[in-house]
Chains A and B, each alone.
Chain A
């Protein structure tokens, strides 16, 4: 079964700290992996997309890595700010046997950055 797991479920850090969010997935047959941010009651904001052939992607203070063979991805947030407080979702685009894909989401990590 193609599943995505995120650890930890919740995280609270002081402002300025660097932090790492973890995502693991059960099947290495993937097209890509995306990290999203979701604020309470809102939709998804795409942060980073890593294609299966890539190892990492960077955008500003965010860096995402992908190790397809071990089924792991990390999202690194540098110098965290209170505005980074949100739920972070990892989503994996799994290849389907008959063709096509299915985007499967993890349960998310709820991040709180405190002043």
Chain B
């Protein structure tokens, strides 16, 4: 089955640090990748949708200068949390999908980000 690898799985860093999270589709080419955020005891909220080779589309309320997304190839998307602060601490999950909207999304295992 389709596998999505997310790295790192856990990050602890100081306030003001920028953190990069990678999302890779291991056995398929992902035209579209998605980034979600999950706060404790809440559901997943879509942050942005990225298509290979083009700019990401951000959901309302998500700061694009804060959360930089790069989808440079069909197998890799990165999310960089710039100048992270404690309120950015959360569980970030990526997913990847083939080229059609009716295809299922395959999820990574998530990255737990803790900003001190």
Question: Which residues of chain A in 11-64 are interfacial with respect to chain B, using CB atoms and an 8 Å cutoff?
Answer: 31-32, 34, 36, 41-44, 46, 49, 51-52
Q: Contact check, A103 vs B108: say whether CB atoms are below 8 A apart.
A: no
B12 CB, min distance to chain A CBs, angstroms:
14
Q: How far, in angstroms, from A99 to B100 measured CA to CA in the complex?
A: 10
B114 CB, min distance to chain A CBs, angstroms:
12
Q: Contact check, B101 vs A95: say whether CB atoms are below 8 A apart.
A: yes
Q: How far, in angstroms, from A106 to B45 measured CA to CA in the complex?
A: 10
Q: How far, in angstroms, from A101 to B49 measured CA to CA in the complex?
A: 10
Q: Contact check, A44 vs B107: say whether CB atoms are below 8 A apart.
A: yes
Q: Contact check, A42 vs B44: say whether CB atoms are below 8 A apart.
A: no
Q: Contact check, A93 vs B101: say whether CB atoms are below 8 A apart.
A: yes
Residues of chain B lying within 8 A (CB to CB) of residue A44 = 44, 93, 107, 110
Task: Specify which of B42, B91, B105, B109 is in contact with A103 (CB 8 Å cutoff).
Answer: B105
Q: Known contacts being A107-B42, A107-B43, is A51 close to B102, with CB within 8 Å?
A: yes
Q: How far, in angstroms, from A104 to B106 measured CA to CA in the complex?
A: 14
Q: Contact check, B43 vs A31: say whether CB atoms are below 8 A apart.
A: no
| Chain A interface mostly | strand
Q: Contact check, A42 vs B109: say whether CB atoms are below 8 A apart.
A: yes
Residues of chain B lying within 8 A (CB to CB) of residue A43 = 6, 93, 107-110
Residues of chain B lying within 8 A (CB to CB) of residue A51 = 102
Q: Contact check, A105 vs B102: say whether CB atoms are below 8 A apart.
A: no
Residues of chain A lying within 8 A (CB to CB) of residue B105 = 34, 93, 103
With A46-B107, A51-B102, A103-B105 given, name 9 new contacts (CB 8 A).
A36-B107, A41-B112, A42-B110, A46-B104, A99-B101, A100-B49, A105-B45, A107-B42, A107-B43
Which residue numbers of B lie inside 8 Å of A, CB to CB? 6, 34, 42-46, 49, 91, 93, 95, 101-102, 104-110, 112
Would you list the 10 A-B pairs with minimal beta carbon distance, nearest first? Answer: A43-B109, A101-B101, A31-B102, A43-B110, A105-B43, A44-B107, A105-B44, A107-B43, A49-B104, A100-B101
